[in-house]
Amino acid sequence: MLAGELIQSPLLFVLLLFVAFLYASVGHGGASGYLALMSLFAFPVTFMKPTALVLNILVSAISFYFYYREKKFDWKLFYPFAITSVPFSFIGGMLTVETHIYKIILATVLLFAVARLLGFFGKQKGELKPVDLPVALYIGALIGLLSGLIGIGGGIILSPVLLLLGWADIKKSAAVSALFIFVNSISGLFGFLSKGGTLPISSTSLIGVALIGGILGGYFGSKKMNLIVLRNVLAVVLLIAIFKLYTT
């Protein structure tokens, strides 16, 4: 079945709205969730990467706006990671890997996302520490390369790292991750296009749905809404996608 035909599924639109809402609520663009959905609906890899990056750019920008408006953003926490992540994301966007390798890498990243959603790691430390610049530069480069390679923004990895190392609280990590995702997704997309990649025209029908979910998620997430149950549901959806990626 062609990607254009797959997009007509009402279930896809419902799940996409759900994913965009929940990811935006925690300061993420949702690329790992979009990729999981597209793998569940058997979209071709050539469609998945650029589509996820475009949706990521839009939703992360919306999420960042709401968190920035609530004065949660810290520039000093953001730039050490962005300095290296942006160029490495561009490099990652230029790279292509075989489909089965891509699926393995994506499934592994989704496992990380599930662990984050279920609270297995990345809980806020009691006392915050200053950012270690050399370590932050190294982490930014690694996340950037991986982000561009598979078509994510890297916030699903950066956010728990910030919390685990005690460099940010939950709200600040969400705000920083949102802008981090935005710049990395743009860089990765340009890298992809520079190697002759193209944006699937049929993916434009997904943009409106993601925007609505992103606006609602960014608004409620930047407040104090408890979304634990919904995040657990999303974790189940991601686990199903992981199983499919590992077994096909």
**CA–CA distance, 174 with 243 (Å, rounded to integer):** 28
Q: What is the pLDDT of residues 55-102, one digit of tens each?
A: 999 988 988 888 888 888 889 999 999 999 999 999 999 988 888 888
Is it the case that residue 1 has pLDDT exceeding 60?
no
Q: How far apart are CA 21 and CA 52, in angstroms?
A: 15
- The pLDDT tens digits for 14-67 are 889 988 888 888 777 888 888 888 888 888 888 888 889 999 999 889 888 888
DSSP assigned state of 56: H
Q: Phi and psi for 212 in degrees, rounded to 5? A: -60, -45
Residue 86: its pLDDT value, please? 96
pLDDT digit string, tens, across residues 125-155: 567 888 999 999 999 999 999 999 998 888 8
Q: Tell me what pLDDT residue 2 has.
A: 43
Q: Is the pLDDT of residue 112 over 90?
A: no
**Of 3 and 210, more confident:** 210
Tell me what pLDDT residue 166 has.
87
pTM greater than 0.75? yes
Quick one: pLDDT at residue 148? 92
In the chain, % of residues over pLDDT 70: 90
Q: What is the mean pLDDT of the chain?
A: 84
C-alpha span between 39 and 37 (Å, rounded): 5
Cβ–Cβ under 8 Å, residues 57 and 71: no
**Measuring CA to CA, how many Å separate 83 from each of 139, 142, 189?**
11, 12, 17
